[in-house]
Structure 1
Amino acid sequence: MNNKAKLCAGQRLYDPIWVKLKYEDKQLYILKPDVKNGCDETTHPSFPAYERNAVIPVMETFPVEQETDSSIVVNWTKFFTEPIEGVDPFNSKTQPGRNIPSLNKILAVNAHGNHLEVSVQYGYEGATAPFLTTIRKSLSLLPEQRMTPRLHDARVGYDFVQNRRFQLASPGIESQNLITRFRLTPAPEDQQKYLRGKKVKPMQPIVFYVDDAFPESWKKAIKEGICEWNKAFEAIGFRDVMVAKTYAEAGKGFDPDAIDVNCFRYVVSDFPNAMGKHWCDPRTGEILQADVLFYSNVISLLQKWYFLQTAAYNPLAREKTLPESVMKRLIRYAAAHEVGHCLGLEHNFRASYAYATEDLRRPDFAAEYGTTASIMDYARFNYVAQPGDRVTEVFPPYLGVYDYYAIRVGYAYLPKEKAKTITQWVDEKQQDPMYLYGRMNPSVVPVDPSVQNSDIGNDPVASSTYGIRNLQRIITELPRWNKGANNPFEGMPADYKDLQSYYFSYMERVIPLIGGLYSFEERRRNEERKTVPVAGKESERAVDFLLDELLDGYRFLTSEAVQQYAGNQTETLVKQQKQVLDKILSSIVLEHIAQTQAQTGFTYARLLDKVSNRLFAVKDADVLTRNLQQNYLIRLNELLDSKTPTYYDVLLLPVVVDHLTEIKKELELTPDLWTNYLKLKIK
């Protein structure tokens, strides 16, 4: 099968579904309850009215074939041998062809504890030949004794389940999102010891089984990454919470595909990736099983990042083959990050903004704090430090200050669950940037300049400036580092196109500052978020930086020496510069300016004047600058011709019209072939 969907063995694509069984009139019904809505007041006089409007849909029906006083027998074969929407892993995009029922059959059935594991063969009509795959279907009883749920506070990054409860005594709906977490409690005999501040073992540790297929050199690093979280659990009174064993250490009869087993799986693939996932009891948020999928090629991605971000001052990053000590460090870091997701934690993209950019150039600070306040960030490595700074600790921390705090908020044992206690813990930290959380909304330009992917430091302009300087040094010094190669990138962890892409990514991290808004979570996600505008002078500084790079800074990528091995890059650079320019004038940036210009003084007119004054002041413009000029006018015309008006058009478009008129007047002062052409681009 052409595996375009990047599926892999052992992967669970969808969360298990919650079902209930109901026996009535010689029929067994599989019901699919509403996992988000409910009502606990079953004895209230109004409950029948709620029940009439909350009918549980029937998913499947099976006739009862045999019945005794204590049991019934049904034939569930079709439940296992036929694809069922919402249960089977394939969908319209990933299904390998039309299912062939005659090839479907049960391969094995195993029951242990409260779980039933059934392995099924499915047959599909592929493009050229039949395709067989093995599917594992599991039935698992949810815990009879429910875990005490913990309310979600949106200021701390936990995954959550939605929980709406209808209140009949005082009509209304109570919305309570519940964080996802493992059940972690002291044994009854240790509770008082725990409450006196003594460290105790949990009643049930969290065990991860590491795939025996991993290279031997990786296994130790992965185990260390899993157990890294024990430091955070020890800080809240639990020891030996995280346990890591290989499949072989699990003993005879171990089943890595069982629904109640946490595994760290090895995926042999050219796709460089890793992911940590969990599934939980929808009633409480209790995590019942978690998996990490760790792809064999992820090490190449880690090495590429390590090279591009630190090679300018870190000789170890220049090696074609990573030293084993560095490779283990990278694997351990990636393993700990993915296990964090398994524990319920989301990415915290604000964590790296907790550090002052200049502090990242200090060896003592970098050694103590790494590059970010949380391993759950995408901070990566220290691209801010410069040659001569003597920084040697270039990595993110295994666990950051925020991670210890998040584990306390999610996992500290409370004999009686009190939402006020958790809220107080979070309230106490909201003035300290080390503890702030930021989730990133998907958009062309990040909504908040302090919540970005793969950035470090609290000054995007300075951080990007330092990052670009390091790229310039790599381009300059690489022929010396890789002597004898016709192409200095030959055999290195990254190539020229990777470096070029990094250059433009550093530029794009500055764009959210333009008219930007810092946005902070309130306690609940359904509350309005607090926003603070970026100062007008910071918007000005961001625009100046971007124009400097667009008009001149890029030239190290097109030097004569570079063109000898990379070829002419004009077409590629034109496209990438256009992307940056379009993002400067994107709908998100323009909307933010509309919201903030009265407070900051950074207006549409100021933005457009700064851009045009620089773009059209260039004498004897080369092909790259000419394309910038042309693309700028095209983008302004697109704003005027938009078929989907926005609320801020009444503020923006009159400024655009006036601005284009002024540009045309300026062009008329210096008529030539090029300026005459540009005038035709102005409507």
Structure 2
Amino acid sequence: MALAALTAAIQAGAQDKTKVVTKDSAVVSKPAASGIQAYDKVITKGAISRPGMFTVHLVDNKYFFEIPDSLFNRDILTVTRYVATPEHLKLYGGEKVNEQTLYFEKGAQNKVFLRVDLFYVATKDSTEALYKAVQTANVKPIAAAFDIKAINPANGNVVIEITDFFRKDNSVVSFQAEEKSEIKLGGLADDRTFIHSIRSYPINIEVRTTKTYTTSSSATPAGSAAGALTFELNTSMVLLPKEPMRKRLFDERVGYFANKYILFDDNAQSTKDFSTIQRYRLEPREEDLEKYKRGELVEPKKQIVYYIDPATPKKWRPYLIAGVNDWQKAFEQAGFKNAIVAKEWPEQDSTMSMEDARFSVIRYFASETANAYGPRISDPRSGEIIESHVGWYHNVMKLVHDWYMIQAGAIDPRARKMEFDDELMGDLIRFVSSHEVGHSLGLRHNMGASSQTPVEKLRDKAWVEANGHTVSIMDYARFNYVAQPQDNIGKAGIYPRIGMYDKWAIQWGYKNIFNTPDEYADRMVLNKWIIDSLKTNPRLWFGGEGKGEDPRSQTEDLSDNAVKASDYGIENLKRIMPLLPEWTAEEGDMYNNLQRIYKRASAQYLLYVTHVMKNLGGGMYVTQKSTEEAGNVYEYIPKERIKAAIDFMGRQVMQPPLWLYPAAISNKIKLNAMEEIGNLQNNFLNTLLNPGLLYNVLQASFANKDAFTVTEYLNEIKKMAWKPLSGNAELDAYQRNIQRIYIERLAMILKPKSIEEGKMLTNAERSDARIYAKMHLVQLKNELTTMPAASAIQAEHKKELITQINKILTNAAK
């Protein structure tokens, strides 16, 4: 709304009409309203004014935005973060509270509307006929409405008061309802809530507030003592580029975070779902454009810069910086040199704030949480990453210490104590820094990366030190646990590093494309890049987040052979287990160190077992392909792999892992070998003899002539569970328990609990797998009848089993 239009409306009275410009430049007529005051009556001589994106005025404890006409209808990315939080709430300064994209719009009756922009639907451009239909069907919600208080006669800028908008509670720049419910916040305590400051900068505004909420929760000391929780918050309002960066469309063969939208296209017969990857805007300078096109390395127009939180202990800062700078080599593959750098925060520069959304920061949290994370704030229109606040919790050092002691203690003497030397801990910090920065650059986990390394190469000193033990730092492939002491492998072959997949993924996401009309044409270029690259080097495969059925894509695993890798890992665990009391000893410690490290070692053993388990029973390899690529998307796991996995379970689980309970440990901390091993064997037999797994085996046998039949599969499991007794009283007790579990599990297959409860059976429960299980049980009974019993307890055990089988078969027939 121009100054002249507003002035004319005020003079003409309530019956006159004024022109209101909407987000979509439509012009509508609305009756004028009174209430606009003279500028100097609102912005008085005593005002404290700060120019910037908007001029911000402070008058008598009231805050005003003075908005130029050019910034109406401009998208503003608004990010609210914690600055300080209540004790023990496990929320930390720097973490995100809320994120919205907003715009101010001149509205009816001398109002300014603040609308929320969502970007869930799109058209190719505003000239398409469908554009109007999309706009009509997607009215943007009005989050707030402000009276126009005054108009600056010098430039026509509109003045609104925004005090209550930021001071009071709302779901746009404060807690959303779900978050309030989760941390049990009640109403806003108005007398204990205020604005600290609102500062304006060239492209952003920073709002610092304190907000206090009532709470009935006693989960935190503050809530229990005061019945209230107080937070300090910072809201950054960042003006998004007038012209969005060109989108780069997501492809599931490369692991990027992405924003989904629905495209309406005049030339398409249906809508299509697309996603835009999240990435920084990285472009060559105009004077270097031709060099870049020729393949010469050039510096970008704008470097990606990460600052190190000054709260970070000084001795760890160089390692965090190195973890960022390690990505420079990856960006060189995309054509840029010095594209990314880390710097220490300039503590003497009062013009900079770590809550300012223009700056990417690795924030250091004084937290007992053993973690780190790498989020991104991106322009929802284009996927352009505006900034990232990597979260670094102090106790991540505890996590990497324990990983390294257990996974590398057998091959690296430096790992054999509770307090690592600074150089070793610094190296571990560096790898975690690289991983989290990878996320902040837009990269997702690639849990299939480690499967691209042949298992025996992990023991080849020259090869693994040159190439690393996984092709991606974005995998959860912590350390080389496959290497054995006699391999003499140095740290270059033990630590993760940025690998060939990471460099290729950065190239795919960041290399500029020229001479194409739009992102949809770019998509065809990107598709060809993928096809050509994977054909040349299949190790660039993106294996996803490890949540699907493909056993190649798992967290914490290594190599292309889970059985061999886990066997090697267990050999190293057997080496270190009796040494843990010595490695964990510290003066005055009440064996708390031993308890902690033993728990980590036991968890590592379970990881090895679960890695193998995922190769069992009808799973599939899943390799996403476009129609131009040769080969199948879905392939059954080879029979020999399944057979090897069952053999592993027999050797490493059904043969009780008593080595996990050495006297040197069990006489220092409380352990119960028989209970824990019994539970372990019970859980894994329940998995192996699960109706769903047998159903998968049945389906695979029909689809793949080389697959296990259900009968063959059950016989393999039986060989594992029904080994001859050893004559060792302890081992035989475990063996008899396994046999009882085995019979019990078959009984559950023959007569599912759903029948007793009167529920509908699943396809797995009613399938032919039940018949095969019954035939298997009859066969087992016949074998038991002729099986010799070497002792009285064995004879009684055999008698009980036969009685139990007869009872199961009788009940199943009813």
Q: Same fold (TM over 0.5)?
A: yes
Please tell me whether residue 404 in structure 1 is matched to residue 497 in structure 2: no
Return the index of the structure with the highest Cα Rg. 2
**Who is 2:603 aligned against?**
501
**Partners in 2 of 1:92 and 1:261 — Cα distance?**
31
1:36-73 CA-partner distances (Å, limit 9, x unpaired): 21224433445444433223233333333334673333
**Partners in 1 of 2:760 and 2:458 — Cα distance?**
44
Residue pair 2:692, 2:764 contacting (<8 A) in 1 also = no
Moved more, 5-14 or 480-489: 480-489
**Who is 1:106 aligned against?**
195
Mapping 1:200-279, distance limit 5 Å: 200-248=298-346, 251-279=349-377
**Who is 2:622 aligned against?**
519
How far did residue 635 of structure 1 move? 3.9
Residue pair 2:376, 2:442 contacting (<8 A) in 1 also = yes
**Who is 1:550 aligned against?**
653
Mapping 1:106-145, distance limit 5 Å: 106-125=195-214, 126-129=223-226, 130-145=228-243
Indicate the SS of the match to 1:277.
coil
Q: Relative to structure 1, is the Cα distance of residues 265 and 484 closer, same or farther in structure 2, using a 3 angstrom cutoff?
A: closer
Please tell me whether residue 78 in structure 1 is matched to residue 164 in structure 2: yes
**Partners in 2 of 1:476 and 1:283 — Cα distance?**
57
How far did residue 623 of structure 1 move? 4.5
How high is the TM-score relative to the length of structure 2? 0.78
1:396-429 CA-partner distances (Å, limit 9, x unpaired): 4421011111111011122345322221221122
Q: Relative to structure 1, is the Cα distance of residues 481 and 330 closer, same or farther in structure 2, using a 3 angstrom cutoff?
A: closer
| Unaligned stretches of 5+ residues in structure 2 | 1-84, 215-222, 517-521, 788-793
**Who is 1:331 aligned against?**
429
Please tell me whether residue 596 in structure 1 is matched to residue 679 in structure 2: no
**Who is 2:127 aligned against?**
43
Please tell me whether residue 447 in structure 1 is matched to residue 549 in structure 2: yes
**Who is 2:563 aligned against?**
461
How far did residue 354 of structure 1 move? 0.8
Higher relative contact order (CA 8 A, sep 6+): 1
Moved more, 504-513 or 665-674: 665-674
Please tell me whether residue 7 in structure 1 is matched to residue 111 in structure 2: no
Residue pair 1:277, 1:341 contacting (<8 A) in 2 also = yes
Match of 1:428 among 516, 529, 532: 532
Mapping 1:269-308, distance limit 5 Å: 269-308=367-406
Identity %: 29
Q: Relative to structure 1, is the Cα distance of residues 591 and 375 closer, same or farther in structure 2, using a 3 angstrom cutoff?
A: farther
Residue pair 1:604, 1:652 contacting (<8 A) in 2 also = yes
Residue pair 2:377, 2:386 contacting (<8 A) in 1 also = yes
Give 1:658's aligned amino acid.
M
**Partners in 1 of 2:182 and 2:739 — Cα distance?**
42
**Partners in 2 of 1:35 and 1:22 — Cα distance?**
17
**Partners in 1 of 2:423 and 2:145 — Cα distance?**
58
Q: Relative to structure 1, is the Cα distance of residues 44 and 414 closer, same or farther in structure 2, using a 3 angstrom cutoff?
A: closer
Residue pair 1:486, 1:565 contacting (<8 A) in 2 also = no
How high is the TM-score relative to the length of structure 1? 0.92
Residue pair 1:512, 1:589 contacting (<8 A) in 2 also = no
Moved more, 547-556 or 55-64: 55-64
Moved more, 497-506 or 536-545: 497-506
How far did residue 476 of structure 1 move? 3.7
**Who is 1:59 aligned against?**
143
1:290-327 CA-partner distances (Å, limit 9, x unpaired): 11111111111111111111111221111332122211
**Who is 1:369 aligned against?**
467
Indicate the SS of the match to 1:407.
helix
Mapping 1:518-537, distance limit 5 Å: 518-523=621-626, 530-537=633-640
How far did residue 131 of structure 1 move? 2.3
How far did residue 214 of structure 1 move? 1.3
Residue pair 1:209, 1:247 contacting (<8 A) in 2 also = yes
Residue pair 1:361, 1:389 contacting (<8 A) in 2 also = yes
**Who is 2:666 aligned against?**
563
**Partners in 2 of 1:307 and 1:268 — Cα distance?**
24
Give 2:164's aligned amino acid.
K
| Unaligned stretches of 5+ residues in structure 1 | none
Give 1:131's aligned amino acid.
L
Match of 1:652 among 769, 792, 814: 769
1:171-197 CA-partner distances (Å, limit 9, x unpaired): 421322111100000111111122222
Moved more, 372-381 or 92-101: 92-101
How far did residue 88 of structure 1 move? 2.7
**Who is 1:438 aligned against?**
543
Task: Give the total of aligned pairs.
Answer: 676
Indicate the SS of the match to 1:165.
strand
How far did residue 203 of structure 1 move? 0.3
**Who is 1:609 aligned against?**
715
1:222-269 CA-partner distances (Å, limit 9, x unpaired): 111111111111233211111211123673321001122100011111
Q: Relative to structure 1, is the Cα distance of residues 21 and 658 closer, same or farther in structure 2, using a 3 angstrom cutoff?
A: farther
Please tell me whether residue 354 in structure 1 is matched to residue 452 in structure 2: yes
